[in-house]
Structure 1
Amino acid sequence: MVNILLVCMGNICRSPMAASVMHAEVVRRQLTDRVALDSAGTYGAHQGEKADRRAVALAQARGYEQIVNERARKVTEDDFERFDLILAMDLDNLTNLQRVCPAEHRHKLHLFLEYAGVEERTEVPDPYYGNEAGFEAVLRLCEQGVDGVLKRVVQVG
């Protein structure tokens, strides 16, 4: 079993969207016995909140129902031990994770899109302060990235 943690800043937009897309693909590809996942944020102000309503509406419209179960939480010390792969949505959050991650677990930290092999971008932009188009762009990047991550994890894991 490969345990994957998807991380953004507040855990209400990007990482819940990515987790929902990945959950759907894990089920579709019949990988539930090989891949487990969760999402979290490096910033804890939204602790316990549901995903942003714009993210929820868009994800549900595309059939990613898992997003309604997502609740914001902050990355904990235990996460570095518990997860095999920790994928940050952008460089700021990767840097924040590297700052608090014990040295023996730093090899688990990667950028989501880079790890997925998406060549045209390295970061998933934060759509929070933007419009619906920003959320749509993020969902497309999540869909693209999830495919690459799962292909890599299934080969390795």
Structure 2
Amino acid sequence: MKQSTSVLFVCLGNICRSPTAEAVFRHKAELAGLDIQIDSAGTHGYHIGKQPDNRSQSAGIERGYSFKGLKCRRVDESDFTKFDYILAMDRSNLENLRGMAPVQTHEKIKLFLDFADTEDEEVPDPYYGGKRGFELVLDLIELASDGLIAHINKQQ
């Protein structure tokens, strides 16, 4: 029997949305007492080795989330077998992931907001926007994180 659940959050460059999701979900999973392996990556390698965007970090830190130790990386082929949930921030990245993934792992790949009680289907990219965009990203990620925790609890 597998000891813990594993979740990979994915956006385009692993600079804003997916590291924010990793930080938020890590915090919420810890509070919920869940043993979950959590990571984030990008479908493209634009920012490999860099820390998450300062604006993402500032918005998240204001809400009590830690980005300590997070570094941007690209999705690796092994991720498709390593993780139980591979959660894309938007449809473009969902399709990129499905194009990269072995067919037998496609059922693991979903939109992160599938777990949120919201009419929104995608977490919008805040990279070229202002502070409000980063706040919206946090709002949506918090909703989806709560929904994913409830889903995982039901599965266990």
Give the TM-score taking structure 2 as reference length. 0.95
1:134, 1:36 → 2: CA distance?
A: 28
Give 1:72's aligned amino acid: C
In structure 1, list runs of 5 or more residues that go unmatched: none
Instruction: Give the CA RMSD over aligned residues.
Output: 0.9
**How many angstroms does 1:70 deviate by?**
1.1
Q: What is the aligned partner in structure 2 of residue 15 from structure 1?
A: 18
1:118, 1:2 → 2: CA distance?
A: 22
Give 1:45's aligned amino acid: Y
2:90/2:111 contact within 8 Å kept: yes
1:51/1:68 contact within 8 Å kept: no
Give the 3-state SS of the residue equivalent to 2:47 in structure 1.
coil
Q: What is the aligned partner in structure 2 of residue 129 from structure 1?
A: 128
Write out aligned runs for 1:145-156 (5 A): 145-156=144-155
In structure 2, list runs of 5 or more residues that go unmatched: none
Q: Deviations over 1:86-145 (max 9, x none)?
A: 00000000000001100110110000001x143311100000000010000000101011
**How many angstroms does 1:154 deviate by?**
1.5
Give 2:151's aligned amino acid: R
Higher helix share: 1
**How many angstroms does 1:68 deviate by?**
2.7
Give the 3-state SS of the residue equivalent to 1:97 in structure 2.
helix
Q: What is the aligned partner in structure 2 of residue 53 from structure 1?
A: 54
1:119, 1:74 → 2: CA distance?
A: 28
Q: Aligned pair 1:3/2:22, yes or no?
A: no
Q: What is the aligned partner in structure 2 of residue 103 from structure 1?
A: 103
Give the TM-score taking structure 1 as reference length. 0.95
1:127, 1:85 → 2: CA distance?
A: 23
Give the 3-state SS of the residue equivalent to 1:5 in structure 2.
strand
1:119, 1:54 → 2: CA distance?
A: 24
Stretches (4+) displaced over 4 A: none
1:89, 1:78 → 2: CA distance?
A: 20
1:155, 1:27 → 2: CA distance?
A: 17
Give the 3-state SS of the residue equivalent to 2:153 in structure 1.
helix
Q: What is the count of residue pairs matched by the alignment?
A: 153
2:116/2:143 contact within 8 Å kept: no
